[in-house]
């Protein structure tokens, strides 16, 4: 488990993911809650632009400098290059398949984002949360002997 990265710790977050050979990340909060902000630490597909804008409405000036990624477009986070391989919206959460690259080595990482868990409260719809847990577990079991099959949860 980890906190959501801030602007100056995004590179450290991906260093940890790489070092631990994590192939699953589960985020269970919004990008902004109670004036606290988690930096968008993964590439956002273009069709998710509206969700990110809703999360970050009062950061318009900063948002104008950040562009949304097309599926397959490379973006740098710390010392890593990343691209969105696929993104799909499910009932209550979003699954984004990423390819993370350091030098010539590439790894697949699946990012789950359950954004409807309000800060200091419980989710309104438990069914979506249970589906998320089920999907994460099915994906974890489908991986071929990963060095670290435990998901990173955060923030």
Calculate Rg over the CA atoms of the chain: 15
Average pLDDT over residues 122-146: 88
List phi, psi (to 5°) of 22. Answer: -75, 135
Quote the pLDDT of residue 68: 52
H/E run at residue 51: helix 49-55
Quote the pLDDT of residue 73: 77
Quote the pLDDT of residue 117: 82
Q: Mean pLDDT score of the chain, rounded to an integer?
A: 81
Does residue 50 have a pLDDT over 60? no
Delineate the domains of the chain, giving CATH numbers in brackets: 7-57+67-154 (3.90.190.10)
From CA 68, how far away is CA 5, in angstroms rounded? 18
Least confident of 9-13, 66-70, 94-98, 141-145: 66-70
Does residue 52 have a pLDDT over 80? no
Dihedral, CA of residue 140, residue 143, residue 147 and residue 148, to nearest 10: -20
List of residues 6+ apart from 53 with CB closer than 8 A: 63
From CA 86, how far away is CA 154, in angstroms rounded? 21
Does residue 155 have a pLDDT over 70? no
Adjacent-strand bridge partners of 154: 27
Distance of CA 101 to the CA centre of its chain: 16
Q: CA 100 → CA 65, 105, 119, 127, distances in Å?
A: 22, 8, 29, 31
Question: Residue 21, SS3?
Answer: coil
Quote the pLDDT of residue 151: 62
Contact, 99 vs 83, CB < 8 A? yes
pLDDT class of 111 with cuts at 50, 70, 90: very high
């Amino acid at each position: 488990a980890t906190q959501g990265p801030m602007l100056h710790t995004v590179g450290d977050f991906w260093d940890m993911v790489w070092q631990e050979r994590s192939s699953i990340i589960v985020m269970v909060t919004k990008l902004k809650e109670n004036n606290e902000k988690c930096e968008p630490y993964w590439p956002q597909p273009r069709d998710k632009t509206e969700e990110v804008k809703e999360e970050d409405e009062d950061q318009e000036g900063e948002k104008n400098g950040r562009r949304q990624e097309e599926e397959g477009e490379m973006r740098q986070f710390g010392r890593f290059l990343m691209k969105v391989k696929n993104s799909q919206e499910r009932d209550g959460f979003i699954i984004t398949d990423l390819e993370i690259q350091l030098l010539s080595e590439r790894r697949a990482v699946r990012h789950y984002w359950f954004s409807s868990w309000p800060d200091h409260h419980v989710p309104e719809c438990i069914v979506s949360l249970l589906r998320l847990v089920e999907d994460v577990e099915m994906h974890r079991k489908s991986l071929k002997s990963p060095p670290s099959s435990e998901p990173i949860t955060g923030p």
